[in-house]
Chain A
Amino acid sequence: MHIPDGYLGPPTYLATYAVCLPLWRVAARRVKEGLTSRQIPLLAISAAFSFVVMMFNIPLPGGTTGHAVGGVLIAIAVGPWGAMLAISIALVIQALLFGDGGITAIGANCLNIAFVMPFVGFYTYRLLMGRFVSEKWQAVAAGIGGWAGLSAAALTTGVMFGIQPLLHTGADGRALYAPYPLSVAVPIMLLEHVAVFGVVEGLVTGLVYRYLSRAHSAWILRPATGEAGR
């Protein structure tokens, strides 16, 4: 899901940076409003958690690999805006140091993985949580949120890949950037994540949520932004 350099044409990657800048500003403001000095480690823990979760590549036998992100769990813990900051930090370090995701694509990857994912997942969780009373079912709600969040991010990533041939095809019919059209990129990205990687994300989210809430962990119980409690 980390779009590399060279897959998005300049209009797309510049536009995604342009969308991300104000979102980062809002995220900074929202996190600042809710932050107490005690909660500073939460953002650090969240960024490190997201980084290491993404290293666990899950193979489709004989096919491609993918991974969970932990983005919705982080959104539940520190609020979706806090999650945006934490995951963006992980994505920037992945791009700069490890070549995982392009540097021109940092805006696009942050939009998909650090914005779409935590927000879709968090509000899915919140919506379901209202209906589920028991703690066990709330963990299920968190799991469904994790699945929905990663699947939504896969969809927007697929769309970004898929619009490239529409925007950039040479006179000889050859693609200039990502070559696969929407009709290929979106179904593949969606299918992989809805059926496999999103399910793993959901299981991890649900199980860790259940464990942390039973252990009365500081991570789940004291959201850094105040957002999660709203």
Chain B
Amino acid sequence: MNGYRRLWIALLVLALLSPIGLYLPSLLKAGGAWGEWGLDEIRERLGYTPAGMEKTADLWKAPLPDYALPGQENAPLSRLSLSYLFSAFLGMGLCAGGGYLVARWLAKRKA
């Protein structure tokens, strides 16, 4: 179990460091990932919005879009990094919970 505890601590440290993933692109003036543009950005690139894309793009409203609170698009980086940190812990917690439930469910079905 000792091995596991050290791994959990390593994960917590990673989560605490996660805002680096927000600051670094901003410092080096990098945009988003290739092929992950929003509708506005794609309209700028192409001069039009693909019709099918327009219909499906906003099908789902994520509660924490881009790991930030909704409406925080223009918030200062310091505020964004707090949301980012929160998202890291929340997301990791849910992933760990999900992984745990799936594994326990599989282990039970084996018995």
Contact = CB atoms under 8 A, between A and B. Distances in A.
B30 A52 contact: no
B13 to A, nearest CB: 10
Interface in B47-101: 48, 50-67, 84, 87-88, 90-100
Contacts of B4: 41, 45, 218
Contacts of B20: 56
A100 B100 contact: no
What bracket does the count of chain B residues touching chain A fall in? 35 or more
A6 B68 CA distance: 21
B99 A62 contact: no
Interface string B28-61: 1111111110010010001010111111111111
Interface residues of A, number: 80
B17 to A, nearest CB: 8
Nearest to B16: A52
Contacts of A216: 3
B34 A55 contact: no
A129 interface: no
A47 B34 CA distance: 24
Nearest to B62: A99
A189 B96 contact: no
Contact of B34 (A5, A40, A64): A64
A36 B93 CA distance: 22
B99 A56 contact: no
Contacts of A189: 34-35
B54 A6 contact: yes
B35 A41 contact: no
Given A5-B59, A61-B29, A219-B3, A52 B98 contact: no
Interface of A: 1-7, 9, 28, 31-33, 35-37, 39-53, 55-67, 85-86, 89-90, 92-100, 102-104, 157, 161, 168, 170, 174-180, 185, 188-189, 192, 215-219, 224
